[in-house]
């Protein structure tokens, strides 16, 4: 299903490029736009995850630079039956997390420093299990490509408005004005809200702690709305990647109400699968988001 959605998304982008090309350059412009769209489609498919991570200034961590956080993700990946993803931390007070990558073999998961500082260990574990749930459910390809392609549509709109001349070309100005809502429509059509419920359920199965995820969502939902996310402000479509929405994502809303997700999680039985071995509680600083290479 996600493969079909991706193909439809790329087709929509190609059609949009060609329409704008025809508007600004006739049949010759449409041909040029087709070539550009094909190149962007291929580039986006192979590099969308890198674009998203660069967009967030994410820094990769490993067993040396963030040992406990990395070990937590590694343990959860084993429990989920997934290859070990690349692990990132985004240095921002906005409490959030996301997963990216075109498939489980090329996946990456990221948490913000704000999230790691706000939540306790069980809650962080449940959040990262949610992100691995997206990887296991193969949501990440369409989510990642939507974030980059919707941003490209907005860029095209600005480009067309600038070179269309506004007053000199009112058709171009009108086209530019409708591009952002059109991009939002593409996001909402391509991303189903049910994928968040699916990732929540997967998280409960992976870590066996649905109540910890419910607690995490309750803690971060309001701060995520109040604390700015620079990446989402620059590209609002990126907000659909996050575990909870931000203040700039209403137009691009793809999340069900947090209260409904919390209620669904609280209705689940704790310990749905085996929980991770404890072996002694780690210090809170074990998930220090400010550790460096």
Answer with the residue of higher pLDDT: 7 or 226.
226
Q: Is 159 exposed, middle or buried (0-12, 13-18, 19+ CB in 10 A)?
A: middle
Task: Give the residue among 281, 291, 261 at the shortest CA–CA distance from 121.
Answer: 281
Measured distance CA(102)–CA(108) in Å, rounded: 10
Confidence grade of residue 35 (pLDDT, cut at 50, 70, 90): confident
pLDDT > 70? residue 144: yes
First to last CA, the chain: 40
Q: Are 175 and 154 in contact (CB under 8 A)?
A: no
Measured distance CA(292)–CA(281) in Å, rounded: 23
Question: Domain with 174 in it: what CATH number?
Answer: 3.30.2010.10
Over the stretch 190-209, which tens digit does the pLDDT of each residue have? 566 788 999 999 999 999 99
Q: Is residue 28 part of a domain?
A: no
Answer with the residue of higher pLDDT: 253 or 58.
58
For the chain, what is the mean pLDDT? 81
Which residue range forms the structural domain that includes residue 120? Answer: 49-275
Measured distance CA(105)–CA(239) in Å, rounded: 24
Q: Is residue 284 part of a domain?
A: no
Predicted local confidence at residue 235, as pLDDT: 79
Q: Is residue 40 part of a domain?
A: no
Specify the pTM: 0.80
Q: Is residue 33 part of a domain?
A: no
Over the stretch 160-193, which tens digit does the pLDDT of each residue have? 555 554 455 566 556 655 665 566 566 555 566 7
3-state SS class at 214 = helix
Predicted local confidence at residue 282, as pLDDT: 38
Q: Is residue 205 part of a domain?
A: yes
pLDDT > 60? residue 292: no
The tally of domains found in the chain comes to: 1
Answer with the residue of higher pLDDT: 115 or 154.
115
**Catalytic positions:** 131
**Residue range 69-87: mean pLDDT, rounded:** 98
Predicted local confidence at residue 164, as pLDDT: 52
Answer with the residue of higher pLDDT: 1 or 12.
12
Over the stretch 268-282, which tens digit does the pLDDT of each residue have? 977 665 544 433 333
Q: Is residue 123 part of a domain?
A: yes
Q: Is residue 198 part of a domain?
A: yes
3-state SS class at 119 = coil
70: its two tokens: 């990395």
């Amino acid at each position: 299903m996600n493969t079909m959605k991706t193909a439809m998304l790329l087709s929509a982008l190609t059609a949009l490029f060609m329409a704008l090309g025809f508007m600004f350059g006739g049949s010759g412009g449409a041909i040029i736009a087709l070539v550009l769209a094909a190149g962007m489609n291929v580039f986006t498919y192979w590099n969308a995850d890198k674009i998203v991570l660069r967009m967030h200034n994410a820094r990769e961590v490993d067993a040396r630079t963030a040992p406990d956080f990395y070990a937590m993700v590694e343990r959860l990946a084993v429990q989920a039956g997934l290859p070990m993803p690349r692990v990132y931390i985004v240095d921002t007070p906005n409490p959030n997390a996301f997963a990216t990558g075109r498939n489980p073999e090329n996946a990456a998961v990221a948490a913000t420093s704000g999230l790691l500082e706000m939540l306790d260990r069980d809650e962080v574990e449940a959040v990262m299990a949610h992100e691995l749930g997206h990887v296991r459910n193969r949501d990440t390809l369409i989510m990642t490509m939507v974030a980059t392609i919707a941003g490209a549509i907005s860029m095209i709109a600005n480009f067309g408005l600038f070179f269309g001349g506004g007053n000199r070309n009112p058709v171009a100005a009108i086209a530019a004005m409708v591009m952002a809502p059109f991009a939002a429509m593409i996001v909402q059509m391509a991303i189903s809200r049910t994928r968040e419920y699916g990732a929540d359920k997967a998280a409960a199965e992976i870590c066996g702690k649905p109540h910890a995820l419910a607690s995490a969502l309750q803690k971060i939902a309001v701060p995520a709305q109040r604390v700015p996310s620079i990446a989402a402000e620059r590209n609002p479509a990126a907000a659909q990647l996050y575990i909870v929405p931000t203040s700039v994502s209403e137009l691009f809303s793809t999340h069900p109400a947090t209260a409904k997700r919390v209620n669904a999680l609280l209705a689940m039985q704790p310990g749905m699968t085996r929980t991770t071995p404890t072996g002694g509680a780690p210090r809170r600083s074990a998930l220090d988001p400010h550790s460096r290479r």
